[in-house]
Amino acid sequence: MLAGIVAAKKQSVAKAKREFPLQVLQGRLAAAPPPRPFAAALEAPGLSLIAEIKRASPSRGDFGLAIPVEELAVSYRRGGARAISVLTEEQYFYGSVADLLAVRRAVDLPVLRKDFIVDRWQLFETRLLPADAVLLIAALLPGKLLAEFLQLCQSLGLAALVETHNAEEVQHALSAGAKIIGVNNRNLHTFEIDPGLTGRMAGLIPAGVLLVSESGLVTAADVSRAAAAGAKAVLVGEALVRAADPVEAARILMGEA
């Protein structure tokens, strides 16, 4: 499944690059609004919630999102989220850059673009949307490519959340200079959840690098377990998207209700 997602993404990026060459994007950077402080939001006292807006997933199907994404973003803000993640991948997750634009207009929180970033062109696009942070998947950026993308993010003013799933990927992220590392408890190849993965990876991540636990966080107990393992933030999507009352769901999840 992952290979199919990446292949489709490379095709769509190639088409977009023909329509909007890199030089065009570079020429528009000066007009981009200043980024909101993603890392600082997560470093605030206590455990931080990155609440995610996603319409579907390959493993779970269509979530049947019944309200506009901007309303959901406002609910997340009221529920205590410190940042919002927006899925923009279209074919498999039914997302769009329009969703991200709507969310950023609706709330004053930092917005993370979650997609499959395989080309530096996408980083310029991300900054211009404008997003404040971007997800980089360590497994998709081998060798020096991850370090190059991180350096480009820094020059563009984009925060980068580097997603990992095993010890090798954590080391790859650290060697590349990642300052925010996510541990995805879901295997991107099988989509199986390993609830203990964040705890096992936490010991590999040194002080000064911010740890985010991603996926499989459904209950307040799940979130507490991630915090006890050393996570400074949790990224939660489906449990909030499917909730009848996202405000209350976010507060309960974070132990504030």
Query: In this predicted model, what pLDDT tens digit does every residue of 7-58 receive, in sequence order?
Result: 999 999 999 999 999 999 999 999 999 999 999 999 999 999 999 999 988 8
**Mean pLDDT computed over 89-104:** 96
For 35, the token pair is 């980024």
Distances (CA, A) of 76 to 9, 138, 174, 198: 29, 28, 31, 24
Q: What residue ranges define each of the domains in the chain, with the CATH number in brackets?
A: 2-28+37-253 (3.20.20.70)
- Measured distance CA(150)–CA(136) in Å, rounded: 9
CA-wise closest residue to 161 among 190, 184, 182: 182
What is the three-class DSSP state of 94? Answer: coil
Token match 């690098």: residue?
209
pTM: 0.96
- CA-angle at 163, arms to 62 and 32, nearest 5°: 85
Q: For residue 63, give both structure tokens.
A: 């979530």
Q: How far is CA 180 from CA 60, 126, 154, 211, in A?
A: 27, 18, 13, 6
Asked which of 110-119, 160-169, 237-246 is least confident by mean pLDDT, the reply is 237-246
> What secondary structure does DSSP assign to 184-220, as a single string?
ESB-TTT--B-TTHHHHHHTTSPTTSEEEEES---SH
